[in-house]
Structure 1
Amino acid sequence: MSGLAILSARAASNRVDYLANKITPNEDSLSQRLIARGLLAGVGLGMRKLPDENDTAWPAAFSRLTGELIEAGAIGGFLYEAITATRHRSSASRKGAIANMAVSAASLSFALYRSRENLKARRDFFTEDFDKLQLTLPKSIAVATVMTGVGTSIGFAHQGTRRAFEQFYGPGFIHTGLARTTNNVFWAGAVTGLYWAGISKIGKSNEKIDPGYAQPPSTPLVSGSADSLCSFEDLGQQGRRYVSDVLPPSLIEATMAEPAKHPIRIFVGFNEQPLYPSGRSEIALAEMERTGAYERSTLLLISPTGTGWVDHSMIESAEFFTRGDLASVCIQFGRYPSFLSLQKVRAGRQQFRQLVWGVHQRLQGMDPADRPRVLVFGESLGAWASSDVVMKRGIEGLDHYSIDRALWFGMPQLARWSAAGMDRPGQLTPDGTVGVFDRWEELELLSVEERQALRIVQLSHDNDPITLATPTLLYRKPDWLGEERGRGVPEGQRWSPVVTFLQTAIDAANAMRDSPGDFRSTGHDYRADTARFVAEGYQLPYTEEQLAAVEVQLRSLEIDRAARMKPAAETEGGHTPSPAKATEEHHKGVHLPHLRGTRTAGARWLQALRKHTPPTTQDLVEAEKGPEEPAETPEGVKAN
Structure 2
Amino acid sequence: MSVQAPAAEPTTFSVGPLRFRHASLLGAWLGVVAMVLSVTPSLVPRGWAIESVLAGLCFALLYGIGALISWVYRTLELPPLPGKARRVAWMVLFVATPVALLVGGWLGRQWQIEQRELLGMETDVPLLWLFSPALGVVVALLVLGLARAVYWLGRTLSRLFRRLLPGRLAAVVAVVLTVWLTWSVASGLLVGEGLNVADTIFKGKSDGDKPGVVNPESDYRSGGPNSALAWEGLGREGRAFVWSGQTAAQIADVTGDPDAEEPVRVFVSLESGSSAADRAAIAVEELRRLGGFDRRVLAVAGGTGSGWVDPKSAAALEYVAHGDVATATTQYSYLPSWMSYLVDVTRAQENAEELLTAIRVELDSMDPADRPELYVYGESLGSFSTGSAFTSVEDMSTTTDGALMIGPPNFEPTWMRVQERRDPSSPIWKPRYHDGALARTATVEADLTDPSLRWETDNRIVYLTHASDPIVAWQIDKSEWLDQRGDDVHPMVNAIPLISGLQGTLDQLGANSTPPGHGHVYDEIVVPAWSEILGPPTLPIDEVEAIKAAVALIVDPDRA
Q: TM-score, normalised by structure 1?
A: 0.69
User: Does the CA-based 8 Å contact 1:414-1:469 persist in structure 2?
Assistant: no
Residue 87 of structure 2 is matched in structure 1 by 84
Indicate if the aligned counterparts of 1:131 and 1:513 stay in contact, CA closer than 8 A: no
1:10 aligns to what? Answer: 63
Structure-2 change in CA distance of 1:345 and 1:190 (3 Å):
closer
Could you say which residue in structure 1 is the equivalent of 2:495?
Answer: 495
1:206, 1:238 within 8 Å by CA — same for their partners in 2? no
Assess if the C-alpha contact under 8 Å between 2:378 and 2:386 holds in 1: yes
2:10 aligned with 1:20, yes or no? no
Cα distance change, pair 360–105 in 1 and its aligned pair in 2 (3 A): closer
Deviation string, structure 1 residues 140-172 (Cα, Å, up to 9, x no partner): 135312211211221222223333333443443
State the match for 2:199 in structure 1.
200
Over 3 Å counting, the alpha-carbon distance change for 1:371 and 1:200 in structure 2 is closer
Cα deviation for residue 281 of structure 1 reads 0.6
For residue 213 of structure 1, report the CA deviation from its aligned partner. 5.8
Cα distance in 2 for residues equivalent to 1:425 and 1:485 = 17
TM-superposed deviation, 1:425? 6.0
- How far residue 298 of structure 1 moved from its aligned partner, in angstroms, is 1.0
User: Is contact 1:269-1:332 (8 Å) kept?
Assistant: yes
Deviation track 1:221-250 (CA, whole Å, cap 9, x = no partner) reads 111224312232232211110001111111
Question: Offset of 1:126 from its aligned partner?
Answer: 5.2
Match of 2:35 in 1: none
Shift of 1:503: 0.6
SS in 1 for 2:146: helix
Listed as ranges, the matches of 1:497-536 within 5 Å are: 497-513=497-513, 520-536=516-532
CA distance in 2, matches of 1:556, 1:140: 36
Q: Residue type matched to 1:411 in 2?
A: P
Q: d(CA) in 2 for partners of 1:139 and 1:451? A: 56
Residues 510 and 135 of structure 1: is their aligned pair in 2 closer, same or farther, counting only changes over 3 Å? farther
Q: Indicate yes or no: 2:351 matched with 1:356.
A: no
Count of residue correspondences:
485
**Any conservation in 2 of the 1:130–1:523 contact (CA below 8 Å)?**
no
| Contact 2:298–2:373, Cα closer than 8 Å, also in 1 | yes
Q: What is aligned with 1:121?
A: 111
**2:480 equivalent to 1:479:** yes
Residue of structure 2 aligned with 1:554, choices 540, 551, 555:
551
In structure 2, the partner of 1:390 is 390
Task: Render the CA deviation track for 1:349-383: whole Å, top value 9, x for unaligned.
Answer: 33322332333333334333332221111111121
For 1:315, the aligned partner's letter is: A
Residues 487 and 26 (structure 1), Cα distance of their counterparts in 2 relative to 1, 3 Å cut? closer
1:460 aligns with 2:465: yes
Over residues 4-23 of structure 1, what are the superposed CA-to-partner deviations in whole Å (9 max), with x where a residue is unaligned?
Answer: 11111111110121122223
Deviations along 1:91-116, one digit per CA (max 9) or x if unpaired, are xxxxxxxxx88x97567535532442
**Cross-structure match for 2:135:** 143
Which of the numbers 141, 149, 159 marks the counterpart of 1:157? Answer: 149
In the alignment, the residues of structure 2 paired with residue 123 and residue 153 of structure 1 have an alpha-carbon distance, to the nearest angstrom, of 34
**Closer, same or farther: CA 530–174 of 1 in aligned 2, 3 Å:** same
**Whole-angstrom CA distance in 2 between matches of 1:526 and 1:511:** 11
Is the 1:333–1:344 Cα contact (8 Å) retained in structure 2? no
Aligned to 2:175: 180
**2:101, 2:134 within 8 Å by CA — same for their partners in 1?**
no
Aligned to 1:577: none
User: With structure 2 as the length reference, what TM-score do the two structures score?
Assistant: 0.78
Change (3 A) 1:131 1:279: farther
The more displaced of 537-546 and 129-138 is: 129-138
User: 1:489-518 CA distances to partner (integer Å, 9 max, x unpaired)?
Assistant: 22111111111111101112432336xxxx
CA pair 86-169 structure 1, distance change in 2 beyond 3 A: closer
1:12–1:562 CA distance, 2 compared to 1 (3 A):
closer
Higher helix share: 1
**AA in 1 matched with 2:467:** D
Instruction: Name the CA distance, whole Å, in 1 between partners of 2:282 and 2:141.
Output: 51
Q: Distance in 2 between matches of 1:365 and 1:141?
A: 62
Change (3 A) 1:180 1:130: farther
TM-aligned CA deviation for residue 543 of structure 1 = 2.8
Which runs of 5 or more residues in structure 1 are unaligned? 34-80, 88-99, 567-640
1:85 positional shift: 4.7
SS of residue paired to 1:378: strand
2:261 match: secondary structure: coil
Question: Is the CA contact (8 Å cut-off) linking 1:299 and 1:375 kept in structure 2?
Answer: yes
Matched residue SS, 1:408: strand
Greater CA radius of gyration, 1 or 2?
1
Question: Are 2:303 and 2:309, in contact at CA under 8 Å, matched by a contact in 1?
Answer: yes
Cα separation, 1, equivalents of 2:118 and 2:525: 16
Match of 1:169 in 2: 161
The equivalent residue for 1:241 is: 240
* Aligned AA (2:401): D
Distance in structure 1 (CA, Å) of the matches to 2:152 and 2:256: 72
Structure 1 residue 302: Cα displacement: 1.0
2:397–2:459 CA contact under 8 A, matched in 1: no
Secondary structure, aligned partner of 2:525: helix
What secondary structure does 1:420 align onto? helix
Which one-letter code corresponds to 1:140 in the other structure?
S
Q: What amino acid sits opposite 1:485 in the alignment? A: R
Map of 1:216-365 to 2, 5 A cutoff? 216-259=215-258, 260-273=260-273, 275-342=274-341, 344-365=344-365
Q: Distance in 2 between matches of 1:556 and 1:382?
A: 23
